[in-house]
Structure 1
Amino acid sequence: MKRALQMVMVACLMTASGLATAANYTLWINGRTGGGAIGNYNSWTYWGPGTTAAGVNKKSVNWDGRSSIASQSGKIRDALDCFCTGSNWCYVATHSAGDLMMGYTMANYGGSARMKKNAAPSSTGVCGNADGSSQTGWNIKWVRAASGAGGGSELSDAGSWTTSEPLVQDLKTTTARAMYNHNNTRNVWFYMYAGAKGTAYSGILPGQDDEAVAYHSTGGVAGSSGGSYCNPSDWLCNDLTLGTAANEGGAVKWSYHSVSFRDDGEAYNHYANGNWGGIVGVVRNAVVNSAL
């Protein structure tokens, strides 16, 4: 009886000190248009059914998908503070402009002092302090980007989207590429998933594309502007290579960016369609198998 009481007391002390609450979380960061309730990490409107498997302790990090990257980055920092500090670690999955958002946040804030939080968010998505101590940056295992728009999109350049949206201005190829140091990921790997099921109206996108973003961006190709990159079966432009290798023609990828999936079969478009569809589905499968 005495032994049992001692074990209960130890368990209580561990819980009170935060030692028993270490956990891994999977954060999903939406792209343009948004849709989920901001501050509600269980609102999955943008992605698909919330009952679908999407990594350990999955959380939907919602931002409005229309305002500027700089003005909405605080929403992502709130989530990273909540779930990726102290003894907790995070896996991160992004879609489209969510890649631009995550890259911007890591480059500009990933080296800053962050208060360790208790992973118990309020209705506004903000967590309380865990023990009053701080750390540098966040505990992130990796980022997986579905149709990453860190390099912008020519649809924004051409005004194919609503040009009054601040986000559309940010998504111009030269603007997105100059917005932050894409090589500065704080040593966190960005694994890129590039879809290629484009259509006729996406002809203004160079090389292979998924109807909204071209391979130069979804493949993490470095440079001040976009280029034309394709699958090996297409002889009209240089190949986007897998992994970290330089692309055909010599163009390199940003540091800590690696192409994990290239849509050689041209089977996946840009859109989740409220059901984890398109290239998002490819990333979800990868996350389920690796975010444990």
Structure 2
Amino acid sequence: MHIRTAVLAATATAALLVAPEASATNYTLWIHGKNGGGTQRGNYADFSNWGPSTVAAGVNKKAVNWDGRQRISVENFRVRDALDCFCTGSNWCYIAVHSAGDLQIGYTLSLYGGSTRYKKNAVPSSTGVCGNTDGTTQVGWNIKWVDVASGAGGGSELADNGEWATSDAIVGDLVTSTARAMFNHNTTRSVWFYMFAGAKGTAYSGILSGQDDEAVAYHSTGGVSVKGGFCNPGDWFCDGTLNTGTAATSNGKAKWSYHTVQFRDDGENHDHYQNGNWENIVGVVRADVATYAY
């Protein structure tokens, strides 16, 4: 059975074991990456970073907007606010992230996924905070899975080499050694991360390791537990092939726990940038979410 199919089946089985609640609702949360455009933080309806809000992007979609110039730790409360709002009590969430959004959700689950959370009513204030339901609590959040478009959980050599504006604090977090040491990437609270790795890299091919999408390399977008130059099958001058699924690279480098490569860009068709129109690797993830987040 495919991993995603197994997860959905297990979730459905678990739902049968508890008393049904009429107010139970599924939501899809979209968490952007570095430099989130002109988004209004706390406004879950503002999809200007992604593209037209009319496009299908999962059931009851919400945009989790944070200051993409700031450090992960500084802005992470906005992600926790969103998870509290829509992913507690009887409600469940699908999560879709792009680039540094991978760091945001990974950081959240690793450091706060075992914390006590009040069950919320999914009615946000203007600042993105929801009210309590009945005052009861739960441990962590109700998350079905995470789709990751060109994830920067392993950082980027562009940050290592000062290719991005150093005035943006987030660049310090995107240094490969810093991103990989920021939290335990193996601790996902048993939530699967489906990695979608783009490979249409051109301008920075000499800086980024192995295959890349112009901003992040396969070692990060493929969820590999160590930095290295990983590529598509048959490519030369690489450390190894990024294998799909949960398998290690061809030279034996393991992926982080609960990370699986759902899409590897063998045709080198997708770069990093959504261009305000759900394009490139974000478009591949959007189509997947539209199919499976229901």
TM-score after normalising by structure 2: 0.92
Q: 147, 150, 153: which is aligned to 2:150?
A: 147
CA distance in 2, matches of 1:76, 1:184: 17
Are the equivalent residues in 2 in contact too, given 1:202–1:212 (CA < 8 A)?
Answer: no
Give deviations 1:86-139, integer Å, cap 9, x for gaps: 000000000000001110011000000000000000110000001100000000
Give the conservation status (yes or no) of the 8 Å contact 1:44–1:50.
yes
Residue 216 of structure 1: how far off its partner (Å): 0.1
- The Cα offsets for residues 160-180 of structure 1, whole Å up to 9 and x where unpaired, read as 001121100000000000000
Tell me what 1:63 maps to: 66
Could you tell me how far 1:19 is from its partner in structure 2? 3.2
d(CA) in 2 for partners of 1:26, 1:203: 37
Match of 1:181 in 2: 184
Larger Rg: 1
Amino acid at match of 2:182: M
The residue type paired with residue 229 of structure 1 is F
Which moved further from structure 2: 134-143 or 226-235? 226-235
Deviations 1:37-65 (Å, cap 9, x if unpaired)?
10000000100000000000000000010
**2:259 corresponds to:** 257
| SS of aligned partner of 1:200 | coil
Q: Equivalents in 2 of 1:251, 1:193: separation in Å?
A: 18
Question: Does the aligned pair in 2 maintain the 1:26–1:92 contact within 8 Å?
Answer: yes
1:90 to 2:59 alignment:
no
Give the deviation of 1:196 after TM superposition: 0.2
Given the alignment of the two structures, is residue 221 of structure 1 paired with residue 224 of structure 2, yes or no?
Answer: yes
2:26 equivalent to 1:32: no
Amino acid at match of 2:25: A
* Partner Cα separation in structure 2 for residue 201 and residue 69 of structure 1: 24
What does residue 158 of structure 1 align with?
161
1:73 is displaced (CA, Å) by 0.5
In 2: Cα distance, 1:164 partner to 1:200 partner: 22
Which of 83, 98, 108 is the aligned partner of 2:111? 108
Alpha-carbon distance between aligned partners in 2 of 1:203 and 1:30, rounded to the nearest angstrom: 26
Structure 2 match to 1:284: 286
- The alpha carbon displacement at 1:200 in A equals 3.3
* Aligned-pair CA distance for 1:233: 2.6
Conserved 8 A contact 1:210-1:268: yes
User: Which residue of structure 1 lines up, in the alignment, with residue 269 of structure 2?
Assistant: 267
- Give the superposition deviation at 1:21: 1.4
| Whole-angstrom CA distance in 2 between matches of 1:227 and 1:256 | 20
Q: Does 1:73 align with 2:76?
A: yes
Cα distance in 2 for residues equivalent to 1:255 and 1:200 = 32
Structure 2 residue identity aligned to 1:254: W
Partner of 2:205: 202
Give secondary structure in 1 for the equivalent of 2:136. strand
Identity among equivalent pairs (%) = 68
Question: Partners of 1:227 and 1:277 in 2: how far apart?
Answer: 27
What is the CA RMSD across the aligned residues, in angstroms? 0.9
- Residue in 2 that maps onto 1:5: none
Segments of structure 2 that go 5 or more residues without pairing to the other structure are: 1-19
Match of 2:232 in 1: 231
Query: Which segments of 5 or more consecutive residues in structure 1 lack a partner in the other structure?
Result: 1-17
Q: How many residues align?
A: 273
1:289 counterpart letter in structure 2: T
Identify the match of residue 191 of structure 1 among 190, 194, 197. 194
3-state DSSP of counterpart to 1:197: coil
Task: Please tell me the residue identity of whatever aligns with 2:150.
Answer: S
Letter aligned with residue 218 of structure 1: T
Q: Which amino acid aligns with 1:188?
A: V
1:167 to 157, 166, 170: 170
The residue type equivalent to 2:234 in the other structure is S
Which residue is 1:121 aligned to?
Answer: 124
